[in-house]
Amino acid sequence: MGWMIASVLGLVFLCYFIEKKKNRAIEKKRIKDENLKIHQNGMGQPDEIAEHTDIIIVGAGVVGSALAYTLAKDGRRVHVIERDLNEPDRIVGELLQPGGYLKLIELGLEDCVEDIDAQRVFGYALFKHGKSTKLSYPLGNFHADVSGRSFHHGRFIQRMRSKAATQSNVRLEQGTVTSLLEKKGTVKGVQYRTSNGQALRAYAPLTIVDIPSCFVALVLENCNLPYPNHGHVVLAEPSPILMYPISSTEIRCLVDIPGQKLPSITNGEMNEYLKATVARQIPPELYSAFMAAVEKGNIRTMANRSMPASPYPTPGAVLLGDAFNMRHPLTGGGMTVAFSDVVLLRKLLRPIHNLNDSTSLCKYLESFYTLRKASNRFSIFPFILRQPVASTINTLANALYKVFSASPDPSRKEMRQACFDYLSLGGEFSNGPIALLSGLNPRPLSLVLHFFAVAIFGVGRLLLPFPSPKRLWTGVKLIWGASSIIFPIIKGEGIRQMFFPATIPSSYRAAPDMHI
């Protein structure tokens, strides 16, 4: 009996093992077939290029196009996957600060602002209650070609995409990335859908993700700015209005509307708001063109978001551009930060020949998150742009937006007026802040000093010639208000990264010549 039971059990186990082996063989074949499918393109041909890609870049916007060009120049095989390769028609990224232009030169992309009717920008003009002041960029130490540039965003992006595509080792493809392919916590590539709907996968040791980010936008035509070739900021109520030329005949006007809920464009509320609240605050030279643009009705909106950079080191992937870090667009600093990050990442990747060791590469690239925020402690030449600019531009943009927005609080009103008057003093009082805004001076300490100098200037005006308890109290609130604007922003950026980068161990993982 025992012998019979043992034989039956033996037979059952034998059948089980045979079946398991068969299933394993079927599974192996399925995976092999799947892999074959994965590496085939739409025509059923094996996709050779995907197998020999060093870096996949998701998105050919500001960051993606610049990075593709520069990494290809360094000999990398780059596969760029962009959702829409047609000329973008967007209201973002239209004014490039001089600091960003210098980065463009460093990347060899300065010709991308040529032949697109880009306008040169030499500074800003600030308007408040009918008074104005001009703030020129401190460009004296630079080549005559260096200045800001403003243009149609789409024309600029197409120039950068074409330039990247001139490199034989760049493959620029239209497709929408739907997911990252991960294996054991390491990003191995991406899954994407081509323009004809086919689902494909692409693999590379390193994937760089550059996917984007309310201003009400209009185009003013047939008019001249009061200060030609300058950006114009109106300290309007409730919040600022921005204007700059985007071609020789068009002026972009961006009206900030605070809060999440916008007046409706479709039922005419927006037109009403622009005519009743905004138009009377527009400089008189531009009033008719503004009203004509509102009547014409080509009104567009775009959300303004700020997002401090939170490093999320993932083996096999790097997050860049607006996908990683955003600041209020008031100061037009986004592209300058983007190009500065591209320059830094290129320098970090240059000495690395093998991108396949994703864990070591990820650890090494942690230095990127510190170095992009750090300015050179020992720099005695602040106008030599060797330092990354991200934290200074981010902090200035977010703080200035708060200071420039109207508030019923008397101390905030004093701060706004003090800021306008401080900038109108000229000399270092205007040169210092505009150098920070333009990306020409990346030092965060200069920013903090100027910010508190404005606050102290405001308190001084309150207390002179005779301080009263009420004025003294407003002064205390002004300093408190200034601190509660700037310190949370600095905290979000990272105090150590901004002011004590050398205390962060990861910064030493970069090549020695990049140490802070």
Ligand X SMILES: Cc1cc2nc3c(=O)[nH]c(=O)nc-3n(C[C@H](O)[C@H](O)[C@H](O)COP(=O)(O)OP(=O)(O)OC[C@H]3O[C@@H](n4cnc5c(N)ncnc54)[C@H](O)[C@@H]3O)c2cc1C
Per-position x/- string for 255-294, each x denoting binding to ligand X as judged by CB under 6 A, each - no binding? ----------------------------------------
Tell me how far apart the alpha carbons of residues 156 and 113 are, in angstroms, rounded to a whole number. Answer: 6
Of 213, 247, 271, 424, the residue at the interface with ligand X (CB under 6 A) is 213
Which 19-58 positions form the footprint of ligand X (CB under 6 A)?
A: 58
Furthest-apart CA atoms within the chain: distance in Å: 114
Q: How far is the CB of 94 from ligand X (least distance, A)?
A: 5
Q: Let me know: does 246 contact 229? Beta carbons within 8 Å.
A: no
> Does an H or E element contain 254, and which?
strand 250-256
Site size toward ligand X, by CB under 6 A: 36
Stretch that binds ligand X, among 109-117, 283-291, 332-340, 362-370 (CB under 6 A): 332-340
Amino acid at the residue 461: R
Nearest residue to ligand X on Cβ basis: 61
> Does an H or E element contain 56, and which?
strand 55-58
261: phi then psi, degrees, rounded to nearest 5: -95, 120
Of 53, 69, 76, 83, the residue at the interface with ligand X (CB under 6 A) is 83
Q: Considering the rule CB under 6 A, would residue 210 count as an interface residue with ligand X?
A: yes
Q: How far is the CB of 16 from ligand X (least distance, A)?
A: 46
Tell me how far apart the alpha carbons of residues 178 and 211 are, in angstroms, rounded to a whole number. Answer: 12
DSSP 109: -
Stretch that binds ligand X, among 277-285, 289-297, 334-342, 466-474 (CB under 6 A): 334-342
Burial of 367 (0-12, 13-18, 19+ CB in 10 A): buried
**Cis check: omega of the bond before 238, within 30 degrees of 0:** yes
Q: Considering the rule CB under 6 A, would residue 93 count as an interface residue with ligand X?
A: yes
Q: Which is nearer to ligand X, 164 or 516 (CB)?
A: 164
**CA-wise closest residue to 387 among 515, 208, 210:** 515
Stretch that binds ligand X, among 137-145, 209-217, 401-409, 449-457 (CB under 6 A): 209-217
Q: Which is nearer to ligand X, 176 or 483 (CB)?
A: 176
Q: Which residues of 99-117 are buried (b: 16+ CB within 10 A; e: fewer)?
A: bbbbbbebbebbebbeebe
Q: Let me know: does 169 contact 93? Beta carbons within 8 Å.
A: no
Tell me how far apart the alpha carbons of residues 33 and 39 are, in angstroms, rounded to a whole number. Answer: 10
Q: Which is nearer to ligand X, 329 or 475 (CB)?
A: 329
Q: Considering the rule CB under 6 A, would residue 304 count as an interface residue with ligand X?
A: yes
Of 47, 54, 256, 322, the residue at the interface with ligand X (CB under 6 A) is 322
Which 365-424 positions form the footprint of ligand X (CB under 6 A)?
A: none
Residue ranges that bind ligand X, judged by CB under 6 A: 58-64, 81-84, 91-96, 176-177, 210-213, 215, 302, 304, 321-323, 329, 332-336, 338
